[in-house]
Amino acid sequence: MLSGRLFGIGLRQPHYRDVFERRPALGFVEVHSENFFQEGGASLRALERARAAYPVSLHGVGLSLGATDEMSARHLGKLQRLAERIEPALVSEHLSWGRFGGEHFNDLLPMPCTEEALAWMVDRVDLVQSALRRPILVENLSAYVQFADDAMSDTAFLAALARRTGCQVLLDINNLYVNSINFGFDPARRLDDLEAELIGEIHLAGHEASDGLLIDTHGARTCPDVWTLYALACRRYGPKPTLIEWDTALPALDVLLDEVAIAQATSAAASTSSVCEAHHA
Amino acid sequence: MPSLFESQRAMARSIANPRASGGASPVFAGAAPRIERGLAVYRANVNAAAAKALAAAYPVILQVVGPEFFDALAREHRRAFPSTSGDLDEYGATFAAFLADFPHVSHLAYLPDLARLEWRVHEARAAADGRAWDATTIGEVASQRQDAIRITWAPGTAIVESQFPIARLWTLHQDDHEGEFTIDWSVAERALVARDGFAVTVQFLDEGEAAFLGAALDGGTLGHAATVALSRSPAFDLGRLLARAIAMNFLCGFTLEGTST
């Protein structure tokens, strides 16, 4: 668990040196778990250095949590070993699948939001949580197709999953926004699906438009609409640990730190205005 | 209502096969062109992830063939050998076999061996860190017992043999290479891949050294490996090789019957 007043960045290799030398004031850093599944070597050493300076959040992209394929004991074992080594503050994965019939697509593929899929995800999250002996967080995706038999929103799905497994929700505000544009819904209303106590972390990132779709590239600044939605989420849920994610076309570290500063200011302003609203109520 | 299994099967097929016409599949919602557009994003992501992982494991081949051709190779490789792991570090062990059979690179006959070398380097980079040990202890073994020494090699240590100068090729493509860029294509090379701290080194081995290390890496005793080496190369110098192995940290201990360091 992390305090809601903590802000972090996705720590990527080109920023290692800058981060280790400058030690910017960050509440935590987040890395992709699979990038540190080695038995030894320079990458793992760098992560241990980061861990000595900051709380670390392990964010998985390859467990294929929602797949109907059997879960890879090998993958889960490597995650377990890494978690024992790093003692992370948070461990998260996605509401997604990536492997079918033995083939791994190494991408975050969307789940149909049905009662059947929910029951399946409950079992899979239980499996991971008992292996790791800790609750995990599960994140909503950016999706580019929808399923005909979707019976609920992904946010309502995640809320039910969290209530039934004790996992927490990693709410990616940019993903929520990208989907709202691609599929045409009001993202603000989706915030109603989730109660504050279910949310363990918030992600912010940039996206790009391509051929009629918004694509979640993690390669740009957070857009104004997403900041607005974030402010709304802060007012609704109170402060939550918030992470700036940037994976492609990585800019200088200062750009990420500037995004962190905006997130801090947005969150602080939201709590002030919530307090005022409470006074006037 | 399709089951979760059927939904995932339909989507997996639509991604793996662009001609599967996912837009017509009843599992997806929306208009067919819009569904196809969404599936195209996933197909691109899948190919990009595989190409990026392959490029990380095979940086020299990437330089040799150029990024555009490498991307095409990566696409064809994925079609022939799809990923099976959520850990992309494990993806690409099949690249050498793929290159050996791929007709469009048959003029680059050294490419499969270069791929084998790069894969060993990739593995060594991720291998467990070697432990510190007292190298003087190996010199203290009584001479009549030295043949029974079984060396502990640093994790990741490996030999790749080729009829091509692959170690030279690899060296020339390293960022920190200084000196000549000439290459003698007639030279067959045996390359040793070893971790020295966090760095991975590729070293040339002569015939005797390669024979010794091959036997010793297979678990043979010092006596056995030295006999194999001397039968191949009467000039084989065991002391010199051991000194180099200790200095470069790929020899990281030994065992003797009944004892260990």
Say if A111 is an interface residue toward chain B (CB within 8 Å). yes
Q: Which CATH number fits domain A7-280: 3.20.20.150, 3.90.380.10, 3.90.550.10, 3.30.160.270?
A: 3.20.20.150
What average pLDDT score do residues B65-78 get?
97
Which residue, among A10, A20, A14, A16, has the nearest Cα to A61 in the 3D structure? Answer: A10
What average pLDDT score do residues A241-266 get?
97
- The predicted pLDDT at position B22 comes to 65
Residue among B5, B29, B84 whose CB faces A68 most closely = B5
- pLDDT of B233-259, one tens digit each? 999 999 999 999 999 999 999 999 655
Q: Which of residues 89-108 of B touch A (CB under 8 A)?
A: 89, 91
Q: Which of residues 176-195 of B touch A (CB under 8 A)?
A: 195
Q: Is the pLDDT of residue B132 over 90?
A: no
- pLDDT of A9-50, one tens digit each? 999 999 999 999 999 999 999 999 999 999 999 999 999 999
Determine whether the interchain pair B15/A149 forms a contact, defined as Cβ–Cβ distance below 8 Å: no
Alpha-carbon distance B45 to nearest alpha carbon in chain A (angstroms): 7
**CA angle, corner B31, sides to B29 and B35, nearest 5?**
70
Q: How confident is the model at residue A276 (pLDDT cuts 50, 70, 90)?
A: low
What average pLDDT score do residues B177-195 get?
92
Q: How confident is the model at residue A2 (pLDDT cuts 50, 70, 90)?
A: confident
Chain A partners within 8 Å of B155 (Cβ): 39-40
Give the number of residues written for chain B: 261
- Which residue ranges make up each domain of chain A? 7-280
Residue among B26, B82, B85 whose CB faces A148 most closely = B26
Chain B partners within 8 Å of A219 (Cβ): none
Q: Which of residues 18-47 of A touch B (CB under 8 A)?
A: 34, 37-43, 45
DSSP B78-117: HHHS----S-GGGTTTTHHHHHHH-GGGTT-TTHHHHHHH
Q: Which of residues 127-156 of B touch A (CB under 8 A)?
A: 127-129, 155
- Which residue ranges make up each domain of chain B? 1-108, 129-261
Chain B partners within 8 Å of A33 (Cβ): none
Token code pair at residue B33: 């062109």
- The predicted pLDDT at position B130 comes to 86
Q: How confident is the model at residue B228 (pLDDT cuts 50, 70, 90)?
A: very high
Chain A partners within 8 Å of B201 (Cβ): none
What average pLDDT score do residues A172-200 get?
98
| Bridge partners (DSSP) listed for residue A91 | A58
What angle do helix axes A115-132 and B4-16 make, rounded to 10 degrees?
90
Q: How confident is the model at residue B1 (pLDDT cuts 50, 70, 90)?
A: confident
Q: Is the pLDDT of residue B261 over 50?
A: no
Q: How confident is the model at residue B220 (pLDDT cuts 50, 70, 90)?
A: very high
What average pLDDT score do residues A69-75 get?
97
